[in-house]
C-alpha cells in the first residue's frame, strides 16, 4: 500500500492509515461531496480527490491543518473547503453551505504524527515539552488538569478515559508532588507516574506499555472532550448522509472503538447475538444504516511494518438506508464530566 508522507513544511509529517481500505469503505461511487472531519495532514482527503472529481468539506481543530489545506488546494483546484473548527460543527457548516446531503463522512480519530512528534504540543511523554495536549488553541490544557483538578476527579478521569487500574495511586502521587512543585512538563509528569507505578507495570505480565501511556491518553481525551464530540457529530450527521452514502471511522484505542461500535450497532439495529454471516433481514433495514460487510478492519503486516503507529488502528463503516434517523441515543451523556470541566475553568 502506498503511504505518501504528508509534509507540513516543518520536520513533522503524517502517514494516512489504511488508505486503500478507507477508499473502499467510503465506496467512492463518483459522488460529489465528501466530508473529512479530521483533515490532519490531508492524506486521506488527497486520496479521495486523486480518485474523483468531487469536493471535500474538511474540518480540523488544529491551525496547522489550515496551512496544509491551503497548499493542497493549489494542487486540487480549490476542491478542499477547509474549516479550522471542531467536527461537531459539520451539520451547521453544511446548512450554511446549503448542502443537504453528502456522499460520505470520514473520521480518523486521535492525534496526528505532526501533533505527537512536535514536543511543543505536549502530547508525548517521550519528548520534553509543556503540558498542553490541546488539538486546537483554546480551552483548558493538560497543565490545568494536572495542577488544578481535585485529586478524586483526577483519579476518576485517569480511570474512565485511560482504563488505568492504578489511577488512585497515580492521582495521589501527582497531588503529593504538586503540593510542593508545579508540574510544568511532559517528562516531569511521566517521571511522577513512573515513580508511582513503574514497579507494578514491570511485575505485570503482558504490560508492555510505558506506565504513563494510559494517563496521558486519559488527560488528552478529557482536555479535548473527545468522546462527547464523537457522539455529538455522529448523532447530528445521520440525516445528512445520502442514501447509499457511508460513514467510516478509524479508531486507535479500545475505549474509542467501543464508542464507535456501540453507536454503529445502535444505528444499524445490529445485535451481537447474531452471526455476522447471516444476511440482513427486512426488519434491520428499518434502521437508518446497515453494515455493508464485516464489522471492522485492521492494517496488514506490511503497513504495520512501514508505519508502526498504524498497529492499533481499527476501521469500521456503515451505509445509509432510506430510513430516517429519529432516536436520541443518550448512552454517552457527559454531564458528569461537564461538571468537572466547569470547575477547572
Binding site for ligand SAM (CB under 6 A): 6, 14, 16, 38, 40-44, 59-62, 65, 86-87, 108, 110-112, 135, 229
258, three cell numbers: 467501543
Is 231 or 270 the residue whose CB approaches ligand SAM more closely? 231
- H/E element holding 24? helix 19-26
CB of 95 to ligand SAM, least distance (A): 18
Which residue's beta carbon is nearest to the bound ligand SAM?
A: 40
Among 188, 182, 214, 216, CA closest to 201: 214
Q: If you ran DSSP here, which 8-state letter would residue 279 be given?
A: P
CB of residue 47 to ligand SAM, shortest distance in Å: 8
- Please report the beta strands in the chain, taking only residues with DSSP state E, as ranges in sequence order: 6-7, 13-14, 33-36, 55-59, 80-83, 102-108, 241-251, 289-290, 314-320
Q: Name the minimum Å distance from CB 287 to ligand SAM.
A: 26
Question: CB-wise, 54 or 183, nearer to ligand SAM?
Answer: 54
In Å, how far are 82, 99, 224, 260 from 57, measured between CA atoms?
A: 6, 10, 22, 22
Instruction: Give 173 or 298: the residue with its C-beta nearer to ligand SAM.
Output: 298
- Nearest CB to ligand SAM, comparing residues 38 and 213: 38
Nearer to ligand SAM, 152 or 306 (CB): 306
183's grid cell: 508540574
**Nearest distance, CB of residue 286 and ligand SAM, angstroms:** 31
State the minimum distance, in angstroms, from the CB of residue 112 to ligand SAM.
Answer: 4
User: To which residue does cell 459539520 refer?
Assistant: 90
Amino acid at each position: 500500500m502506498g503511504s505518501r508522507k504528508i509534509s507540513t513544511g516543518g520536520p513533522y509529517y503524517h502517514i494516512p492509515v489504511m488508505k486503500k481500505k478507507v477508499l473502499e469503505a467510503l465506496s467512492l461511487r463518483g459522488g460529489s461531496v465528501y466530508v473529512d472531519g479530521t483533515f490532519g495532514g490531508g492524506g486521506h482527503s488527497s486520496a479521495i480527490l486523486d480518485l474523483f472529481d468531487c469536493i471535500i468539506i474538511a474540518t480540523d481543530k488544529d491551525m496547522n491543518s489550515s496551512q496544509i489545506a491551503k497548499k493542497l488546494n493549489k494542487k486540487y483546484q480549490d476542491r478542499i473547503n477547509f474549516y479550522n473548527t471542531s467536527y461537531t460543527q459539520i451539520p451547521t457548516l453544511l446548512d450554511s453551505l446549503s448542502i443537504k446531503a453528502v456522499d460520505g463522512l470520514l473520521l480518523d480519530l486521535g492525534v496526528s504524527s505532526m501533533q505527537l512528534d512536535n514536543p511543543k504540543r505536549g502530547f508525548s511523554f517521550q519528548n520534553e515539552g509543556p503540558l498542553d495536549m490541546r488539538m486546537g488553541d483554546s480551552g483548558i490544557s493538560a497543565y490545568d488538569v494536572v495542577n488544578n483538578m481535585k485529586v478524586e476527579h483526577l483519579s476518576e478521569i485517569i480511570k474512565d478515559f485511560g482504563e488505568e487500574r492504578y489511577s488512585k495511586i497515580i492521582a495521589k502521587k501527582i497531588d503529593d508532588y504538586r503540593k510542593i512543585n508545579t508540574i510544568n512538563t511532559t517528562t516531569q509528569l511521566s517521571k511522577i507516574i513512573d515513580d508511582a507505578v513503574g514497579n507494578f507495570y514491570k511485575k505485570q505480565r503482558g504490560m508492555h506499555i510505558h506506565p504513563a501511556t494510559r494517563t496521558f491518553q486519559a488527560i488528552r481525551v478529557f482536555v479535548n472532550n473527545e468522546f462527547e464530540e464523537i457522539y455529538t457529530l455522529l448523532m447530528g450527521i445521520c440525516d445528512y448522509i445520502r442514501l447509499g452514502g457511508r460513514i467510516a471511522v478509524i479508531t486507535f484505542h479500545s475505549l474509542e472503538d467501543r464508542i464507535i461500535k456501540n453507536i454503529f450497532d445502535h444505528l444499524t439495529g445490529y445485535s451481537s447475538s447474531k452471526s455476522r454471516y447471516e444476511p440482513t433481514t427486512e426488519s434491520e433495514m428499518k434502521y437508518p444504516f446497515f453494515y455493508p460487510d464485516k464489522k471492522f478492519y485492521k492494517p496488514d503486516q506490511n503497513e504495520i511494518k512501514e508505519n508502526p503507529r498504524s498497529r492499533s488502528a481499527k476501521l469500521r463503516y456503515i451505509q445509509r438506508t432510506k430510513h430516517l434517523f429519529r432516536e436520541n441515543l443518550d448512552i454517552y451523556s457527559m454531564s458528569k464530566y461537564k461538571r468537572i470541566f466547569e470547575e477547572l475553568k
